[in-house]
Amino acid sequence: MPPDNDPYTIDEKTVERLLRATGEIDVIGQHVGRIRGARSGSSGSLSEADNQLPHSGYIRGQATIAVSVAYDHLRAWSLIIEGGTLPNYAPMTLVRTALETSALCRWLVDPTLSSMERVARGVSAQLEDHDQRRKFETAIGAGEPPEDGAARGGGQRLRELMRLRDAEGIPPLMFPGPTAIVGMYPPNPKSEGTWPYRLASAFSHGKMWSLVGMNLGSVRAARESGQSIPLTSDQGILASMTELAVAAAVLAVQDIEGYLGIGGPGPEAEVPGSHPAG
């Protein structure tokens, strides 16, 4: 147990709020398990309709991974909360990933789009996946496998999918990037969608301006031997960000279950106010 004067100790009110916010994590996990077990959509589902087009599997595959990653990061954060300590910056990295991957899931399975539009998004996301793999392989000095072999590198997969996309008449679509996608599918539809993701990204990337987030609530500073020591992250804003991340994951679960046609009683989450100062 940390000492009473440990600067990482979370105050009791914030612990209660964080525990409430993460109270649905296990339920989310149960639903994610069911989503992973759904090989294809049920009869009459949007997924079944999309299966009439080539490459619809990229929608399910990418969306399933995305919601699984969101849950995994929120579960990790809930375990830290249960431990009773608060790292300065690390929780924002967990929150950021949950916000990003939840929005990606929703972007892929959007029920307001046509089957062709969803497939175009799935292919776009897969092309981005191949391109990131290509960059990794280049970074480690891995050459492309022989063209007459069974193995394929990221660059080869990228070129092949682009060729198939064009040959099969799937509209080309530039992958928007995570910030734009979070803006399109925010955890709180009443608020400008990108501010939580931008703030969490600032913490994750060690940006000095992340201290702005602390000024949205109470700010605590201390001095020791005449030298400034790092400010701890404001616990009120972190609680708000956690609530938003859980709400984002709940929406992702609801959307992909609706897409697969495996809906039913699901997790719920309260969404905080439109901005942390409100």
pLDDT tens for each residue of 184-228: 999 987 777 798 899 999 999 988 888 665 544 333 333 333 333
Q: Is 149's pLDDT higher than 70?
A: yes
- Please answer whether residues 40 and 47 qualify as being in contact, where contact means their C-beta atoms are separated by less than 8 angstroms: yes
Please state, in angstroms and rounded to a whole number, the distance separating the CA atoms of residues 232 and 214: 8
Strand partners, 223: 228
Please state, in angstroms and rounded to a whole number, the distance separating the CA atoms of residues 273 and 252: 20
Quote the pLDDT of residue 266: 63
Residues 85-129 have pLDDT tens digits of 778 788 999 999 999 999 999 999 999 999 999 999 999 999 999
Mean pLDDT taken over the chain: 85
3-state secondary structure of 223: strand
| Closest residue by Cα to residue 256 from 116, 106, 117, 124 | 106
Question: Please, what sign has the CA dihedral across residues 74, 273, 109, 173?
Answer: negative
Residues 30-73 have pLDDT tens digits of 999 999 998 788 999 999 999 999 999 999 999 999 999 999 99
Q: Is 233's pLDDT higher than 80?
A: no
Average pLDDT over residues 164-189: 96
**DSSP H/E element including 227:** strand 227-228
Quote the pLDDT of residue 48: 96
Residues whose CB falls within 8 Å of the CB of residue 9, separated by 6 or more in sequence, listed in order:
2, 84, 85, 86
Quote the pLDDT of residue 213: 58
Please state, in angstroms and rounded to a whole number, the distance separating the CA atoms of residues 59 and 18: 32
- Structure confidence at residue 171 as a pLDDT band (50, 70, 90): very high
Quote the pLDDT of residue 278: 39
